[in-house]
Amino acid sequence: MAGWTWPNGARLALSLVVNVEEGAEFNVRDGDRGPDPVDELGIVLKKPVRNFGNESNYEYGINEGAPRVLRLLAKYQLKATFTAAAVALERAPQVAAGIVEGGHEACAHGHRWAHQMGMDEEKERAFIRAAADSIEKTTGTRPVGWLSRYLHTPDTRRILAEEGFRYHMDDFSRDLPFVDRSVSPAMVVVPYALDSNDMKMWNAPAFMPRDWLGYCKDSFDWLYAEGAQGPRMMSLGVHLRIIGRPGRIGAYEEFLRHAAATRHVWIATRREIAEHYARVAAG
């Protein structure tokens, strides 16, 4: 679709995404068959036992990572979309309060931080509805966006549309938003990005913060240059327990400083991006 622009003629829309999963991951305490396999040490336990060490890795995101991330966003007066597993916010009301006080968006990232693959339609609908109900209770606003824990079902987008969601993030096929008219009502898809995600530093600890920062700045600068010919968009996703470490948070601040100092960049929540695109797409 040609002929549309971002607000105020911005060349680039930047979406800052902060994932909040800590406390909602797999845990035998919550009836799961085993502990969560996503572990910074790479130790996968197949027995139904609690991995107390990894649980404390996740708790670090709440205790230390969240305050650091929230302080930086406030310092640069930037708004982010916090993709939150609902149970994580239930168990960390101080993080929910920080999201609200900072004027950020809370987007649903599941009820628990769990894969939807394998759920039948009834179970998936209940999962989606429970997440929305919970986030509305903890933040005061019902979420309008959704990000799965990567594995979802062929029914996910249709159910989201029927449940009143306005945008969906489970897509990596392009940089710009688009409208999926195969569901009713039509759904704005705001694609996400995995290549610039800080999870690289969790899955491959040898991938250092400066490497990540350089990659993110290169992505930003390239898209910004392309924006001279037409609107472009960049997503940057981070996690409280990953980017919130003392040796990593400085790289995040440097990227925020770089983006905030660049003219003609619209740093917006995904809700704002989806709503703007819905208006221009309908026009």
For residue 108, list its beta bridge partners.
84, 146
For residue 16, list its beta bridge partners.
236
pLDDT of residue 200: 87
pLDDT of residue 1: 52
pLDDT of residue 262: 98
pLDDT of residue 143: 98
pLDDT of residue 283: 55
pLDDT of residue 282: 61
pLDDT of residue 253: 98
Taking only the tens place, the pLDDT of each residue in 7-23 is 999 999 999 999 999 99
Q: To the nearest whole percent, how much of the chain has pLDDT over 90? A: 88
Environment class of 273 (CB within 10 Å of its CB; exposed 0-12, middle 13-18, buried 19+): buried
Q: 31-58 as b/e, with b when 16 or more CB fall inside 10 Å?
A: eeebbbebbbeeeeeeeeeebeebbebb
Question: Over 90: is that where the pLDDT of 64 sits?
Answer: yes
What's the mean pLDDT when you consider all of the chain?
Answer: 95
Taking only the tens place, the pLDDT of each residue in 173-226 is 999 999 999 999 999 999 999 999 999 888 777 789 999 999 999 999 999 999
Question: Over 80: is that where the pLDDT of 151 sits?
Answer: yes
pLDDT of residue 214: 97
**Selected residue with higher pLDDT from 194 and 45:** 194
Q: How confident is the model at residue 5 (pLDDT cuts 50, 70, 90)?
A: very high
Mean pLDDT confidence for 37-60: 86
Domains of the chain: 7-282 (3.20.20.370)
For residue 191, give both structure tokens.
């694609």
Q: Mean pLDDT check: name the lowest of 37-41, 132-136, 270-274.
A: 37-41
Taking only the tens place, the pLDDT of each residue in 90-139 is 999 999 999 999 999 999 999 999 999 999 999 999 999 999 999 999 99
CA distances to 17, 168, 205, 274, 279 from 201, rounded to whole Å, are: 16, 26, 5, 29, 37
